[in-house]
Amino acid sequence: MAKGDDNVVFIGKKGIMSYVLAVVTQFNNGEDEVIIKARGKAINRAVDVAEVVKQRFVQAANTTDIKISTEEIEGDEGIVKVSAIEITLDKG
Amino acid sequence: MAKGDDNVVFIGKKGIMSYVLAVVTQFNNGEDEVIIKARGKAINRAVDVAEVVKQRFVQAANTTDIKISTEEIEGDEGIVKVSAIEITLDKG
């Protein structure tokens, strides 16, 4: 894994708690900051993950940065644009 | 409508373009700032709305603030917690 990607959690199709656990594990392993990334329909689940981490597991954690953007993805029918989000959580 | 709510667009179940139009209309009516709000599964669509406004309609617009939170909503089966987002778009 490229350096600097260690503290990134990509939100896919698993249950919310899988990703919550991934974030909490990163903090427990000494990361001060974890970046939660998601695209398209996974975006609302990225927000759920950040909120569950803050409310139930790492109460001192803060959302220090949230970025939204448009990414171009090459699909079967050419290039499609999808929205993306990056939520930075600080251990606090 | 309460003062200060004029420049808020709530994302519901309509198509993305309805909300894009609502945001663009607010800017055309002289608002410098429009706040896009959504909860739960509408969150990814709020991000889509902000991105489409920026990319296709008001190229100078910037995302100046994004907040996420947890809201408590009273439903049929008691209080449920849902994630929420507020995206502030500045006309630029």
pLDDT in tens, A35-78: 999 999 999 999 999 999 999 999 999 999 999 999 999 988 89
Sorted by sequence, the CB contacts under 8 Å of residue B7 that are 6+ apart come out as B26, B31, B33, B34, B35
By the 8 A CB rule, do B45 and B74 touch? no
Q: How far is A38 from chain B (nearest CA, A)?
A: 10
Do the chains contact at B83 and A48, CB–CB below 8 Å? Answer: yes
**Is pLDDT of B1 > 70?**
no
CB atoms within 10 A of CB B47: 30
Segment B20-43 shows an average pLDDT of 96
Question: Which residues, numbered 1 to 60 in chain B, qualify as contacts with chain A under a Cβ-Cβ cut-off of 8 Å?
Answer: 40-44, 47-48, 50-51, 55
Kindly state whether A62 is in contact with chain B, defined as any CB-CB distance less than 8 angstroms: no
pLDDT in tens, B34-92: 999 999 999 999 999 999 999 999 999 999 999 999 999 998 889 999 999 999 999 98
pLDDT recorded at residue B4: 55
Residue B53: φ, ψ to 5°: -60, -50
CATH topology for the A8-90 domain: Translation Initiation Factor IF3 (3.30.110)
Beta-sheet pairing, A33-39 with A78-90: antiparallel
Q: What percentage of chain A exceeds 90 in pLDDT?
A: 87
Q: Report the predicted TM-score, pTM, of the whole model to 2 decimal places.
A: 0.91
Q: Where are the domains of chain B?
A: 8-90
pLDDT recorded at residue A2: 44
Q: How far is A41 from chain B (nearest CA, A)?
A: 6
- Comparing C-alpha atoms, which of B84, B78, B65 is closest to residue A55? B84
DSSP string, B22-43: HHHHHHHTT-SEEEEEEEGGGH
